[in-house]
Structure 1
């Protein structure tokens, strides 16, 4: 009996020893996994910091800020600024056209480094890491010149169109008192289509950025369309980076300030608008 008892004790001790060894192995494996993950994170961060390209997300149907030119190449005021900034940062510029309502996904996924395309800061202050504002803009209503609409009040009972997820749409969602007077508020993918809808009589007015409205009207001969005197809202344009990406923001900001100081920003503005419309301080 004593022999059996002693064997039982020895077996228990051996089992205890085996079971205690397993957590030690698990702990060691976890530590190794953590080390691998940490190394991977550092590698990813280093790769991000050493990027040789600067990818700008933009709406390719948003002239004169960014669009497809007559030669089939991407062009525009903002895209020229971005190209000059990339040059000064020692990076290769890459233009990435995006669907405007997918801009957050494009930025979060890393498909683009920033949104630079007549991008309004107001109402989005906490969603992105922003550059300093470099241009002022109004949201306005555009109507056909031969229509009976002469003021915002005349939009009552009319059909108004706005680009999806635009600043004008956001402004009208806030100004429900005005929006509720419309017969219909509908969205469109881009303002080129919006102007065609207005021209053909499919809508009575478009709510949009004044800088884009004036360009579109000039492009169409300067006649046939009128911008109502009272703006819907006022705002400022900035460059939007992924929230927390202050390193790239600071690098781009320095390039902009250098462009402002040596007159390059003014020259690009005069090329597109006939005068210096930039407001960077």
Structure 2
């Protein structure tokens, strides 16, 4: 979504941390999948020549509020570059994540672009080709003595409500979760990491991007376990059936990779833990 430069890394990270992290890579959309009869006539980006990006403004480095009060982030910059390639206007709409499906179906936005996990959502949206590798991972305190999954037996793990991490721990990795003392959920990740830092919980299960951001902000406080819970991908989500817009965005993303724009943007946000190595659309 966009799914958020700063002067000085330490001050920047502290500013963004105060906004709170919301797990945009969360579980499959559970809002309205059909849309109203009126919404069926809403024009997509390719037809309207206007890209209206629905994003979570508290999800660095993909989308957040900068020190100047303006929206910024990797996905927002990427969306602007795509719009320029296509000759489209671009507009950013910070949204309530729980309302994303209603807003998309009503035409208030015409895409969801902000670290948006596609796996498990394929029946609800038409996606661009995936552009970024993501994983669900576990983060623990560096001095906790937790080196691997076995060390989490009898421990308290927390994740965001309705997130991809929750889906994985209640699905493919349910046997692992059964070894935990508890698997707790919370509304947003910033509070989850505050609880980890205070010792109220032993581990946070989250998107790789969130883990990378937190580790970049507090490298002496946290460590990420080597084995991921799952691997997945970020893509741009459009209203079901809007293949013309999805294809146009994928075409432009490939061109932006070829001309070096993607590398430049990855470098721009590398201090937040974003890695060019995770780019997959070439």
TM range, normalised to the smaller chain?
0.7 to 0.9
Tell me, yes or no, if structure 1 residue 153 matches structure 2 residue 154. Answer: no
Contact 1:67 1:76 in 2 (8 A): yes
Contact 1:64 1:77 in 2 (8 A): yes
SS in 1 for 2:69: coil
Tell me, yes or no, if structure 1 residue 182 matches structure 2 residue 180. Answer: yes
Tell me, yes or no, if structure 1 residue 92 matches structure 2 residue 99. Answer: no
Contact 2:140 2:196 in 1 (8 A): yes
Q: Which structure would you say has the larger Rg?
A: 1
Count how many residue pairs are aligned between Structure 1 and Structure 2.
240
Alpha-carbon distance in 1 for matches of 2:43, 2:201 = 51
* Shift in Å, 1:45: 5.4
Which 4+ residue blocks in structure 1 deviate beyond 4 angstroms? Answer: 43-50
Mind listing any 5+ residue stretches in structure 2 that lack a counterpart? 1-36
Alpha-carbon distance in 2 for matches of 1:81, 1:62 = 15
Match of 2:16 in 1: none
Scaled by the length of structure 2, what TM-score is found?
0.77
Contact 2:116 2:235 in 1 (8 A): yes
Pairing 1:182-201 to 2, within 5 Å after superposition: 182-201=180-199
Q: 1:172 to 1:100 in 2, by over 3 A?
A: farther
Alpha-carbon distance in 1 for matches of 2:120, 2:64 = 24
Contact 1:57 1:103 in 2 (8 A): yes
Mind listing any 5+ residue stretches in structure 1 that lack a counterpart? 1-39
Contact 1:100 1:165 in 2 (8 A): no
Pairing 1:128-277 to 2, within 5 Å after superposition: 128-174=125-171, 175-220=173-218, 222-273=219-270, 276-277=276-277
Q: 1:81 to 1:176 in 2, by over 3 A?
A: same
* Shift in Å, 1:254: 2.2
* Shift in Å, 1:70: 2.5
Scaled by the length of structure 1, what TM-score is found?
0.78
Alpha-carbon distance in 1 for matches of 2:91, 2:69 = 16
Contact 2:130 2:235 in 1 (8 A): yes
Contact 1:61 1:191 in 2 (8 A): no
SS in 2 for 1:192: helix
Q: 1:153 to 1:98 in 2, by over 3 A?
A: farther
Alpha-carbon distance in 2 for matches of 1:93, 1:183 = 47
- Superposed CA RMSD: 2.3
Match of 1:120 in 2: 117
Greater helix content: 1
